Amino acid sequence: MKLYKVCALALVLVLCIPLAANAQDDDSCPAAVETALAAVGEACGLLGLDEACYGHSRIDATFWEARDDLAFGAPADTAPLLDLKQVATAPLDVDTGEWGVAVLNLRADLPGVMLAPGQGVTFLLMGDASLENAVPPDEAAAPVEPAAAHTTARVNLRSAPTTAANIVETVGAGTALVLVGASASRTWYETEAGAWVFGEYVAADDPAAPAALPVTDESAGPRYGPMQAFYFSAGIGLPACSEAPNALVVQSPSGAEVTFNVNGLDISLGSTAVLTMGAVDEKPALMMTLVEGKLSARLEAIHFALTEPGQAAGVTLNDAGRVDADSEVVQPDVDMLAAKAGPACAAAAQSGLFGAVECGFDLTAYELPKICIAVAARDINRRGGPGTIYPVRGAMAQGEYMEVSGQATGYDGYPWWRLVDASWVRDDLVKKIGNCADVPAAAAPPLPTPTPTPTPTPTPTPTPTAEPQEPSPGQPQEPVEIWVRACWEGGGSFGATVPAGVPLTIVMHLNGTNPEQVAMAGQYFAWSLLVDETTHTGASIVSQGSTVYGYWSLPSGLGTGQHTILVEESFANYWEWAPEQYYGMGTLNSILCQVNVQ
Tens digits of per-residue pLDDT, 325-338? 888 888 899 999 99
As a whole number, mean pLDDT of residues 125-142 equals: 93
Contact 498, 567 (CB under 8 A): yes
Give, in order, the Cα–Cα distances in Å from 70 to each of 133, 219, 261, 364, 442.
16, 36, 26, 43, 65
- pLDDT over threshold 60, residue 368: yes
- pLDDT over threshold 60, residue 589: no
Best mean pLDDT range from 11-20, 125-134, 234-243, 559-568: 125-134
Q: Residue 538 — very low, low, confident or very high, per pLDDT cuts 50/70/90?
A: very low
- pLDDT over threshold 80, residue 524: no
Average pLDDT, the chain: 75
Q: Residue 389 — very low, low, confident or very high, per pLDDT cuts 50/70/90?
A: confident
Ramachandran angles phi, psi of 517, nearest 5°: -65, -40
As a whole number, mean pLDDT of residues 213-240 equals: 87
pLDDT of residue 476: 36
pLDDT of residue 439: 92
Which of 543 and 63 is assigned the larger pLDDT?
Answer: 63
pLDDT of residue 143: 77
Q: Among 303, 501, 549, which residue's Cα sits nearest to residue 403? A: 303
Q: Among 549, 556, 495, 551, which residue's Cα sits nearest to residue 521? A: 556
Q: SS3 of 336, please? A: helix
Q: SS3 of 211, please? A: helix
- pLDDT over threshold 50, residue 472: no
As a whole number, mean pLDDT of residues 284-298 equals: 95
pLDDT of residue 122: 95
Residues 6+ apart with CB under 8 A from 212: 145, 147
As a whole number, mean pLDDT of residues 543-549 equals: 29
- pLDDT over threshold 90, residue 493: no
Cα 229 from Cα 245, distance rounded (Å)? 23
Q: Residue 108 — very low, low, confident or very high, per pLDDT cuts 50/70/90?
A: low
- pLDDT over threshold 60, residue 206: yes
As a whole number, mean pLDDT of residues 116-140 equals: 89
As a whole number, mean pLDDT of residues 108-124 equals: 66
pLDDT of residue 458: 58
Cα 117 from Cα 368, distance rounded (Å)? 39
- pLDDT over threshold 80, residue 306: yes
What is the pTM for the complete model shown? 0.62
Which of 314 and 578 is assigned the larger pLDDT?
Answer: 314
Q: Among 394, 368, 385, which residue's Cα sits nearest to residue 444? A: 385
Q: Residue 265 — very low, low, confident or very high, per pLDDT cuts 50/70/90?
A: very high
Which of 28 and 393 is assigned the larger pLDDT?
Answer: 393
As a whole number, mean pLDDT of residues 591-596 equals: 32
Q: Residue 347 — very low, low, confident or very high, per pLDDT cuts 50/70/90?
A: very high
Length of the chain: 598
Contact 103, 123 (CB under 8 A): yes
- pLDDT over threshold 50, residue 545: no
Residues 6+ apart with CB under 8 A from 196: 157, 158, 159, 160, 161, 165, 183, 188, 189, 190
Give, in order, the Cα–Cα distances in Å from 332 to each of 235, 276, 297.
15, 11, 16
pLDDT of residue 116: 54
Q: Residue 339 — very low, low, confident or very high, per pLDDT cuts 50/70/90?
A: very high
- pLDDT over threshold 80, residue 467: no
The dihedral sign for the CA sequence 584, 588, 594, 597: positive
As a whole number, mean pLDDT of residues 563-589 equals: 32
Best mean pLDDT range from 4-13, 251-260, 388-397, 557-566: 388-397
Residues 6+ apart with CB under 8 A from 117: none
Q: Residue 303 — very low, low, confident or very high, per pLDDT cuts 50/70/90?
A: confident
Radius of gyration of the CA atoms of the chain, in A: 33
- pLDDT over threshold 80, residue 113: no
Residues 6+ apart with CB under 8 A from 302: 329, 369, 373, 433, 434
pLDDT above 70 coverage of the chain, percent: 68
Residue 286 CB neighbours (<10 A): 28
